[in-house]
Amino acid sequence: MFGRLTWDAFPVHDPIPLFAAGFVLLVLAGVLLLVTVKGWWPTLWRDWITSVDHKRVGVMYVLLALVMLVRGFIDALMMRSQLALAAGHAPGYLPPAHYDQIFSAHGTIMIFFVGMTFMVGLMNFAVPLQIGARDVAFPVLNSVSFWLTAAGVLLVNVSLVVGEFARTGWLAYPPLSELAFSPGVGVDYYLWALQISGVGTLLSGINLTTTILKMRTPGMGYSRMPIFTWTALASNLLIIAAFPILTATLGMLLLDRYLGFHFFTNEAGGNAMMYVNLIWAWGHPEVYILILPAFGIFSEVIATFSGKPLFGYRSMAIATMAICMLSFMVWLHHFFTMGAGADVNGFFGIATTIIAVPTGVKIFNWLFTLYGGTLRFETPLLWAIGFIVTFVVGGASGVLLAIPPADFQLHNSLFLVAHFHNVIIGGVVFGAFAGYTYWFPKAFGFRLHDGLGKAVFWCWFIGFWLAFLPLYALGLMGATRRMQHYPETGWQPFMVVALVGALVILAGIVLTGVQLVVSVRARERLRDANGDPWDGRTLEWATRSPPPAWNFGVLPQVSGLDEFWEAKRCNGGALVAARGEGARPLQVPRPSALGVVLAFFAFVAGFALVWHILWLAGLALSCIVVACLLRAWQTEHEVELNAADIAGRDGARP
Amino acid sequence: MNAATTPVAEVGMSISERGPSPRTVIVGYGFWLFLLSDIILFSALFAAYAVLSGRTADGPSGALLFHRDSVLIETGCLLLSSFTCAMMSLAIEFRRKDWMLLGAGLTLALGAAFLWLELTEFGAMLAHGAGPDRSAFLSAFFALVGMHGLHVSLGLGWLVVMMAQVFTLGWRAMVRDRLACFALFWHALDIVWIGVFTIVYLGAR
Contact, A349 vs A404, CB < 8 A?
A: yes
CA–CA separation, B175 vs B180, rounded Å?
A: 9
How much is the pLDDT for A650? Answer: 44
Residue B11: pLDDT band with limits 50, 70, 90: low
Element (H, E) at B187: helix B173-196
Residue A480, classed as helix, strand or coil, is strand
Q: For residue A490, how many other CB atoms are within 10 A of its CB? A: 11
Quick one: closest CA in A to B30, which residue? A210
* pLDDT band (50, 70, 90) for residue A654: very low
CB B135 within 8 A of CB B59: yes
> What region, left, alpha or beta, does residue A578 occupy, with left being phi > 0 and alpha being psi -120 to 50 degrees?
beta
Cβ–Cβ gap B29/A210 under 8 Å:
yes
- Dist CA A246 CA A253 (whole Å): 11
Question: What domains are there in chain B, each with its CATH number?
Answer: 25-202 (1.20.120.80)
- C-beta separation of A258 from A394 below 8 A: no
Q: Is the pLDDT of residue B5 over 50?
A: no
Which residues of chain B does A624 touch, with a Cβ-Cβ cutoff of 8 Å? Answer: none
Question: How many angstroms separate the Cα of A160 from the Cα of each of A9, A105, A170?
Answer: 10, 10, 16
Encoded amino acid at A79, one letter: M
Q: Flag whether pLDDT at B49 surpasses 90.
A: yes
Integer-rounded Cα radius of gyration of chain A: 25
Chain A residues whose CB is inside 8 A of the B30 CB are: 137-138, 206-207, 210
Question: What residue of B is the nearest CA neighbor of A259?
Answer: B133
* CB A615 within 8 Å of CB A606: no
Packed helices B23-52 and A227-259: angle between N→C axes, nearest 10 degrees? 40
Name the more confident of A380 and A638: A380
Chain B residues with CB under 8 Å of A215 CB are 20-21, 26
The 3-state DSSP class for residue A482 equals: coil
Q: Counting beta carbons within 10 angstroms of the beta carbon of residue A266, is it exposed (0 to 12), middle (13 to 18) or buried (19 or more)?
A: middle
CA distance A511 to A464: 16
Instruction: Write the DSSP symbol of residue A486.
Output: B
Please answer yes or no on whether B136 and A263 come within 8 Å at the CB atom.
Answer: yes
Residues ≥6 apart with Cβ < 8 Å to B190: B78, B79, B82
Element (H, E) at A518: helix A492-521
User: Cα distance from B82 to chain A (closest Cα, Å)?
Assistant: 24
For chain B, what is the radius of gyration of the CA atoms? 21
CA distance B33 to chain A (A): 6
pLDDT at B183 over 70: yes
Q: What angle do CA A347, A388, A299 make, to 5 degrees?
A: 95
Mean pLDDT of chain A: 90
Residue A639 phi/psi, 5-degree rounding, is -110, 135
Using an 8 Å Cβ cutoff, are A101 and A516 in contact?
Answer: no
pLDDT, position A641? 75
Residues of chain B positioned with their CB less than 8 A from the CB of A202? 37
Find the mean pLDDT for residues A87-92: 87
Cα A256 to Cα A146, A253, A589, B57: the distances in Å are 29, 5, 43, 16
DSSP H helical segments within chain B, as ranges? 23-52, 62-65, 68-93, 97-127, 136-169, 173-196
Using CA atoms, how far apart are residues A170 and A151, in angstroms rounded to an integer? Answer: 18
Set of chain A residues whose Cβ sits within 8 Å of the Cβ of B170: none
**pLDDT on residue B205:** 73
- Residues of A within 8 A of B52 (CB-CB) are 263, 269-271, 274
Count of residues in chain B: 205
Which tens digits make up the pLDDT trace of A414-459? 999 999 999 999 999 999 999 999 999 999 999 999 999 999 999 9
Cα atoms found within 13 Å of the Cα of residue B60, Cβ hemisphere only: 16
Helix (H, G, I), strand (E, B) or coil at A81: helix
Please give the single-letter amino acid code of residue A178: E
DSSP 3-state of B4: coil
- Give A119 to chain B, closest Cα distance, Å: 21
Of all residues in chain A, the one with the smallest CA distance to B134 is: A268
Interface test with A, best of B134, B139, B160 (most A CBs within 10 A): B139
Least confident of A309-318, A504-513, A562-571: A562-571
> Higher-confidence residue: A14 or A481?
A481
Range of weakest confidence among A275-284, A460-469, B2-11, B35-44: B2-11
Chain A neighbors of B55, CB-CB under 8 A: 268-271
Question: Cβ separation of A214 and B29 shorter than 8 Å?
Answer: yes
Contacts of A204 in chain B (CB under 8 A): none
| CB-based contact, B173 to chain A, within 8 Å | no
Cis peptide leading into residue A226 (ω within 30°): no
Question: Phi, psi at residue B124, to the nearest 5°?
Answer: -65, -40
Query: How far from the centroid of its chain's Cα atoms is residue B8's Cα?
Result: 37
* Spatial contact of B158 and B107, defined as CB atoms under 8 Å apart: no
Decide if B33 and A206 are in contact by the 8 Å CB cutoff. Answer: yes
Contact B161 A629 (CB under 8 A): yes
Residue A555 in this model has a pLDDT that exceeds 90:
no
Question: Which helix or strand (DSSP H or E) is residue A291 part of?
Answer: helix A272-306
Note whether B139 contacts A255, CB cutoff 8 Å: yes
How many percent of chain B have pLDDT more than 90?
69
Give the separation between CA A351 and CA A274, rounded to whole angstroms.
21
Residue A347 C-beta-side C-alpha neighbours within 13 Å: 9
Query: What is the pLDDT confidence band of residue A652, given thresholds at 50, 70 and 90?
Result: very low
Strand partners, A589: A638
DSSP state of A137: S
For residue A287, pLDDT over 90 is answered with yes
Torsion of CA B6, B12, B16, B20, to 10 degrees: -10
Cα–Cα nearest to A257, from B67, B133, B23: B133
Which of A297, A219, A240, A276 is CA-nearest to residue A62?
A297
Spatial contact of A580 and B7, defined as CB atoms under 8 Å apart: yes
Give the mean model confidence (pLDDT) for residues A558-577.
86
Quick: pLDDT tens for A142-199: 999 999 999 999 999 888 888 888 889 999 999 999 998 999 899 999 999 999 999 9
Q: Is A413 helix (H, G, I), strand (E, B) or coil?
A: strand
pLDDT band at A563 (very low <50, low <70, confident <90, very high): confident
Residues of B in contact with A213 (CB under 8 A): 29
Q: Does B51 touch chain A (CB under 8 A)?
A: yes
Q: Is the dihedral of CA A146, A150, A156, A159 positive or negative?
A: negative
Q: How far is CA A323 from CA A78, A318, A368, B52, in A?
A: 35, 9, 20, 32
Q: Distance (Å, rounded) from C-alpha A269 to C-alpha A499?
A: 45
**A587 phi and psi, to 5 degrees?**
-125, 140
pLDDT score of A10 more than 50: yes
Q: What is the pLDDT of residue A653?
A: 42
Whether residue A459 contacts residue A503, with contact meaning beta carbons closer than 8 Å, is answered with no
Are B132 and A218 within 8 A, CB to CB? no
Indicate yes or no: CB of B33 within 8 angstroms of CB of A262: no
Distances in whole angstroms, Cα of residue A155 to Cα of each of A69, A173, A574: 16, 20, 48
Q: In 10 A of CB A496, how many CB atoms?
A: 17
| pLDDT confidence bin for A29, thresholds 50/70/90 | very high
Q: List beta partners, residue A87.
A: A486
Q: How distant, in Å, are the alpha carbons of A127, A300, A561, A620 from that of A227?
A: 10, 7, 10, 42
Poorest-pLDDT segment among A229-243, A443-457, B58-72, B167-181: B58-72
Confidence of residue A647 (pLDDT cuts 50, 70, 90): low
All residues of chain A having their beta carbon less than 8 Å from the beta carbon of residue B59 are 268
pLDDT tens digits along A492-521: 999 999 999 999 999 999 999 999 999 999
> Where residue B12 falls among pLDDT bands split at 50, 70, 90?
low
- Please indicate whether, in this complex, the C-beta atoms of B135 and A268 are within 8 angstroms of each other: yes
Closest chain A C-alpha to B196 CA, distance in angstroms: 16
CA distance A171 to A646: 50
Is A262–B8 a contact, with Cβ atoms under 8 angstroms apart? no
All residues of chain B having their beta carbon less than 8 Å from the beta carbon of residue A251 are 143
Contact partners, residue A123, CB within 8 Å, separation at least 6: A58, A208, A232, A235, A236, A293
- Reported confidence tier of residue B59, pLDDT bands at 50, 70, 90: confident
Query: Quick one: which of A86, A103, A100 has its CA closest to A492?
Result: A86
Residue B3 has pLDDT above 50, yes or no: no
Contacts of B179 in chain A (CB under 8 A): none
Task: Give the model's confidence band at A638: pLDDT under 50 very low, under 70 low, under 90 confident, else very high.
Answer: confident
Closest CA to A382 of A434, A329, A331: A434
**Omega of the bond leading into A293 within 30 degrees of 0 (cis):** no
CA–CA min distance B97, chain A (Å): 19
Question: Could you tell me if A98 and A160 are in contact, meaning their C-beta atoms sit under 8 angstroms apart?
Answer: no
Q: Phi then psi for A498, rounded to 5 degrees? A: -60, -40
Long-range contacts of B91-100 (CB under 8 A, 24+ apart): B92/B171, B92/B176, B92/B179, B92/B180, B95/B171, B97/B166, B97/B167, B100/B163, B100/B166
| Partner A contacted by B25 (CB < 8 A) | yes
Question: What would the pLDDT profile of A43-71 be if each residue is shown by its tens digit?
Answer: 888 889 999 999 999 999 999 999 999 99
Check residue A222 and give its pLDDT: 92
Question: What mean pLDDT comes out for the span A80-96?
Answer: 90
Q: Which helix (H) or strand (E) holds A640?
A: strand A638-640
| Residue in B19, B40, B178 closest to A244 by CB | B40
Candidates A233, A262, A557: best to mutate against B (most CBs of B within 10 A) is A262
Helix count and strand count (H, E) for chain B: 6, 0
More confident residue, B8 or A78: A78
State the angle between helix axes of A227-259 and B136-169 in degrees (0 to 180), rounded to the nearest 10.
120
Q: How many CB pairs under 8 A join A and B?
A: 150
Distance linking the first and last C-alpha atoms of chain B: 51
Contact criterion met (CB < 8 Å) for B37 and A243: yes
ipTM of the complex: 0.90
pTM given for the model: 0.92
Residue A465 clears pLDDT 90, i.e. is over it: yes
Cβ–Cβ gap A261/B51 under 8 Å: no
Residue type, A354: I
Select from B44, B133, B165 the Cβ nearest to the Cβ of A261: B133
- What is the pLDDT confidence band of residue A41, given thresholds at 50, 70 and 90? confident
Closest-CA residue of A relative to B14 is A221
What CA–CA distances, in Å, run from A455 to A67, A383, A499, A504? 20, 11, 20, 11
**More confident: A579 or A115:** A115
